A and B are shown apart, each in its own frame.
Chain A
Amino acid sequence: MSAIDDLAGELAKLPGIGRKTALRLTYHLLKQPPERSRKLAHALEVLRDRVHPCGVCGNLTEDPECAICRDPRRDRTVICTVEEAADIGAIERAGEFRGLYHVLGGRISPLDGVGPEHLTVRELEARVSAGGVSEVIVATNPSVEGEATALYLQQSLVRLGVRVSRIARGLPVGGDLEYADGGTIAQALSARREMI
């Protein structure tokens, strides 16, 4: 396989990039100074070496703890639980939430073989058990699987004596949190309800 096919093949595996676009990007890089390609290759390498989940919340970071967990101004009594690290960015853009996060790493999906044991539920329970947390907001996606996951979390966490709330249904059902606009997320957070 030629070097051109090689790179185009790799690019075409990225979301939203078809075979044609992959080839166009490859030829574009070849027309640029060699330095441009080297920088890109270096950035890709550094990305995988440096970025990893935060040891506390699972957010993506280059440090042992992410910037949100380290920020002394954040409210440590509230933890907002999300399915994926990408959801944190969406909630941060809304600017409403000042607490900490917890990334579950997915949602319960029996059809995909994902059970509670595959998510970071034990880690969340440990954070709550360590004390100082008064509320856990469950911000899983407004889907059947997201709701079932929220129910599981609620049942696991109330035993620990913490208040568990669910973001309100201002979010479009069937849509992903990651793509919701800031206003919708802010509204859903402020109208969250306790899970009983």
Chain B
Amino acid sequence: MTLHVTDAIVLHAFDYLETSRIFRLATRESGVVSVLARGARKSVKRFGSSLDLFVTGTAEIQQRPGRDLQTLSGFDLTYARSALAADLDRFVAASMLCELALRCTAGEAHAETFDALTNGLDGLTRVSGREAQVFGAQAAWQLVDSLGFAPSLDRCASCHRVLDRGDDALFSHRTGGAVCRDCEGVARGGRRLPAAARSAILGWLAGAESPMPDAGTLRSHARLLREFVEHHVSEGTELRAYTAWAARFERT
């Protein structure tokens, strides 16, 4: 057994047996790790009083090689983000980001994903309502980017020719992004992406302040992002928080 100390964000928490909890953590060094926190439901002595969803802290993990479930022996909170519960749009968007981090486990770029998630959750604490919905879309694309799945948007994903900024383009998940007219036949399936939506996603990926899209645009963004993410998660994986997040657009 080795002791591993790492920065961690709590992505998911659920009760285990009478008094314990299992946490799924995004760690800076090792990606997503599942840990058992014995007695966490009953006593706050060992893990402090704020071991909860969305928090960042230093996790002490007792690691046994070859095990799926490791043991959490300590957690030192650095940032609680309880403000994420003070607005339902924030809360649902934060859940969606954590779900993406959980489901789209990619290569070794854990630090980038950890930072993208940190920025996303932190940013959400400062916005609410519609703004939180839009910020959620932006943060989700940045998270996807950090996982190494960023779509090609300014060049054709198939022949790499530069695309005109003002042109609508076909977006093909299979091909990995926008494709030029000549390649539309090769890229089977896809969705027509208006030039404005393409430049919005480009801006989001670059971390630019985004203009507030109308409800219809936001809905099509949510659909596009969902198709893109579903293409990168293992088959049959349910995106529950994502569904809850996208459903909120239908009401606005």
Contact = CB atoms under 8 A, between A and B. Distances in A.
Interface string B16-41: 01110000000000000000000011
Contact of A143 (B43, B53, B98): B53
Contacts of B48: 174
A115 B240 CA distance: 10
Interface residues of A, number: 24
Contacts of A148: 85, 88, 91
Interface string A96-116: 000000000000111111010
A80 B92 CA distance: 25
A151 B128 CA distance: 14
A172 B49 contact: yes
A108 B47 CA distance: 24
Contact of B53 (A145, A151, A152, A179): A145
A174 B55 CA distance: 11
A15 interface: yes
A35 B92 CA distance: 54
Interface centre among A110, A143, A155 (most CB of B within 10 A): A110
A175 interface: yes
A144 B54 contact: yes
B17 A175 contact: no
A11 B84 CA distance: 40
Contact of A111 (B47, B51, B85, B95): B95
A152 B92 CA distance: 12
Contact of A175 (B41, B85, B95, B241): B41
Nearest to A17: B17
A173 interface: yes
Contacts of A151: 85-88, 91
Interface in A132-147: 143-145, 147
Nearest to A150: B85
A71 interface: no
Given A144-B91, A174-B44, A174-B50, A113 B238 contact: yes
Interface in B42-68: 42-44, 47-54
Given A113-B238, A179-B19, A173 B245 contact: no
Given A110-B241, A113-B240, A176-B41, A144 B19 contact: no
A15 B18 contact: yes
B240 A112 contact: yes
B82 A147 contact: yes
B17 A147 contact: no
B150 to A, nearest CB: 24
B44 A175 contact: yes
A186 B24 CA distance: 33
Contacts of B92: 110
Interface of B: 11-14, 17-19, 40-44, 47-54, 81-82, 84-88, 91-92, 95-96, 98-99, 102, 238, 240-241, 243-245
Interface of A: 15-16, 108-113, 115, 143-145, 147-148, 151-152, 155, 172-176, 178-179
